[in-house]
Amino acid sequence: MTKKLSTSDLIRKIEKLTKQRIAGQEVVALDQFRDASQKLHPTTILVIEDEETQRTSLKRILESDGYQVKLAADAPQLTALLDEDIDVSFIIMDVGLPWVNGFELAQMLKEHRELKHIPLIFLSASAEEEDLQKGREVGADDYIKKPFDIEKLKVRIKEILNEKNPN
């Protein structure tokens, strides 16, 4: 009779076998190992952006790079996501959100004991020195002006994740 595995046991078994097979290859490129690790444990990026086209474009682009992406258009949608107890590793947020702007929302997130360490990049059409300073004050890791180069954003996400979680 076959032993029944719990979900966590199954995950551990698959991860172990994958790591063994990767390690068994004659040459393992670091990128291959990172790609396999990313597929086993995808990084979840929360995009908070009120403009629907921008929001869905970011989702499509980031998912094509292997990230899981959760979307919120504003603070009320964010509270619904937080009720789901999602495991977020990175936040990309627009500054010009309705009702509660990005600076206010970031300040609240940075005051939360479980969310304060999550890296945050602001995206905004406004990039006056005052805005950049406000972004730093609320704990943003970067502030990128719209329109932006998507490749540069993806590089910046990887850099920040590597800084926060060096392995």
Place domain 42-164 in its CATH homologous superfamily: Response regulator (3.40.50.2300)
Query: Is pTM, for the whole model, over 0.95?
Result: no
Check whether 148 has a pLDDT greater than 60: yes
Residue 110 has pLDDT above 80, yes or no: yes
Confidence of residue 127 (pLDDT cuts 50, 70, 90): confident
**In the predicted structure, residue 39 carries a pLDDT above the cut 80:** no
Separation CA 117–CA 123 (nearest Å): 19
Per-residue tokens: 49: 């952006």
Specify whether the backbone of 66 is left (phi greater than 0), alpha (psi in -120 to 50) or beta.
left
- Give the residue with greater pLDDT, 4 vs 136: 136
pLDDT of 34 > 60? The answer is: no
Are 125 and 156 spatial neighbours (Cβ–Cβ below 8 Å)? Answer: no
Task: Report the share of the chain in percent with pLDDT over 70.
Answer: 84
How far is the C-alpha of 120 from the C-alpha of 13, rounded, in Å? 33
Cβ proximity of 49 and 96 under 8 Å:
no
> Average pLDDT of 4-28?
69
Helices (H), 65-128: 75-83, 102-111
- Residue boundaries of the structural domains of the chain: 1-41, 42-164
Query: What is the tens place of the pLDDT at every residue in 83-97?
Result: 777 789 999 999 998
What is the pLDDT averaged over residues 52-73? 93
Residue 52 pLDDT more than 60? yes
Going by pLDDT thresholds of 50, 70 and 90, the confidence category of residue 79 is confident
- State the DSSP string of 125-150: S---HHHHHHHHHTT-SEEEESS--H
pLDDT for residue 37 is more than 60: no
pLDDT at residue 44, rounded to an integer: 93
